[in-house]
Structure 1
Amino acid sequence: MIFDLDVFNSNIKHLMEREGIGSVTELSKKVRLQQSTLHRLLTGEVKDPKYTTLKSLADYFHVSPIDLIERDLQASAAQHAPGVTGELHSLVLHKVPVLGNTQLGHSGYWSDMQYPVGNGDGFLRWPSCDRDVYALKCVGDSMMPRIKEGEFVIVEPNQNFHPGDEVLVVTSSGEVMVKTFLFKRDGFYHLLPVNEDHAPIRLPVEEVTQMQYVAGIAKSSLWHP
């Protein structure tokens, strides 16, 4: 993550105004951070803030830590405001095919059933604008509590992804995992485990054979034979 002080301060100001928070003292109480810690962060005295500190702030405002320090949230909110013109996509309730099982995470592999597009081991009903949307059934407990055994990962292969989005990653060795995409730099993908208590990881670009947008997690009750 790249800590941009100007972006961070602008975002904190915007978010405080949005939530009606009038002072740093009030914010520190709500987030349960020491006021001195927050003050040093806002003045730039802290050059490399702890991830846990940024996450506490981001969680309170319901944004991602990456967006908080790298993205102009005020401009983004304006772009997505009601009435703003732009390209519209129609969501269609698809019969999403289940194309295999996966344990997800390190040492997890995708049991690819090699079904043609549109077919699979049953299906789920899910709204999507991607005609190639598919699902993978999760087995094991390596992604608990984010993804439980028997639930399904919904993948939209034609959808672009951005920093902070969850992605399905398949490596050249066949390993399959769901991670939060951070950025690509110097020949490496930088990724964050879904369990944010774990440290970020990086994978060489040449070892990644697929990286696709994860649209959501579906409950097992949505499966149909």
Structure 2
Amino acid sequence: MLKHADIWRAIDRLAAQHGFSASGLARRAGLDPTTFNKSKRTTGDGKLRWPSTESISKVLDATGASFAEFVGLVGEAPAQGAMQRVPVIGYAQAGNAGYFDDAGYPAGSGWDELLFPSLGDPHAYALEVSGDSMVPVYRDGDTIIVSPAAQIRRGDRVVVRTKEGEVMAKQLMRESATRVELMSINRDHPDRVIPRTDIAWIARIIWASQ
């Protein structure tokens, strides 16, 4: 039998997969940011409150996930065997030569690692945020997980590395055969338009530690 906790767990996992907190997912879907807060999952008298079918439909539309994918997130937490080791790279290190191969995969070995539920991408890696260029979404010390294999769509948050070694986290606004337009997450920093020939790789942020 489907349980109240199963549905809320699936929403939390869907949010994490796309780099959102539960409130961030609600906001992305056009819902009140408090819709999925833990305090909203029961009433004041302790009665279980279920998410509406409309709110689930909106978050699936916002993330591009299918209902079948959502159902796959229902259930108990993954067993240890379903975990994968994710290499952790310092944000400043990411711009140095030799840290990635031509496909944008971490190169070499000896990284710090963290255990994470299987992401479906063996080349996924984590970046440790430094500085304030991504506040208020990502702050100094946060960890973001990047998936080179994840499909990228307009509006996604991405990490971009130029051939000159500059690494940046931005929001993808649009791309063409000749250029990529990026919006800065911190609005105090300028947006960027980069010729596609200057980009080494671009990968989607699928989770953040907030």
Tell me the TM-score normalized by structure 2.
0.54
Letter matched to residue 101 of structure 1: G
- Matched position secondary structure for 1:61: coil
Query: AA paired with 1:148?
Result: R
Q: Distance in 1 between matches of 2:170 and 2:196?
A: 15
Aligned equivalents of 1:85 and 1:152: distance in 2?
25
Q: How many residues align?
A: 146
Measure how far apart 1:102 and its partner are. Answer: 1.5
Offset from partner CA, 1:88-120 (integer Å, 9 cap, x none): 79x84222111x3225xxxx9624674866944
Higher RCO, 1 vs 2 (CA within 8 Å, ≥6 residues apart) = 2
- 1:152 corresponds to which residue? 143
Letter paired with 2:203: Q
The percentage of counterpart residues that share the same residue type is: 26
- Confirm or deny: 8 A CA contact 1:102 1:111 kept in the other structure: no
Flag the 1:96–1:215 CA change in 2: closer, same or farther, 3 A: same
Alignment of 1:156-175 (within 5 A): 156-175=147-166
Of 110, 121, 131, 1:130 maps to 121
Q: Is the 8 A contact 1:167 1:213 kept in 2?
A: yes
Matched, 1:110 2:95: yes
Separation of aligned partners in 2, 1:101 and 1:111: 10
Q: Distance in 2 between matches of 1:60 and 1:97?
A: 31
Matched, 1:101 2:101: no
Is this contact kept in 1: 2:177–2:196, CA < 8 A?
Answer: no
RMSD over equivalenced CA pairs, Å? 3.9
Rounded to whole Å, the distance in 2 between the matches of 1:75 and 1:150 is: 30
- Which one-letter code corresponds to 1:192 in the other structure? M
Residues 201-220 of structure 1 mapped to structure 2, 5 A cutoff: 201-218=192-209
Match of 1:61 in 2: 30
TM-score by length of structure 1 reads 0.51
In structure 1, the residue matched to 2:15 is none
CA contact (8 A) 2:146 2:207 kept: yes
The structure number with the bigger radius of gyration is 1
Which residue in 2 is equivalent to 1:36? none
Aligned-partner Cα distance in 1 for 2:83–2:203: 20
Deviation per residue, 1:27-84 (Å, 9 max, x gap): xxxxxxxxxxxxxxxxxxxxxxxxxxxxxxx878249xxxxxxxxx79947x8564x5
In structure 2, the residue corresponding to 1:206 is in which secondary structure?
A: helix
Separation in 1 of the partners of 2:157 and 2:66?
23
- Paired with 1:75 and 1:143, the residues of 2 have a C-alpha distance of 26
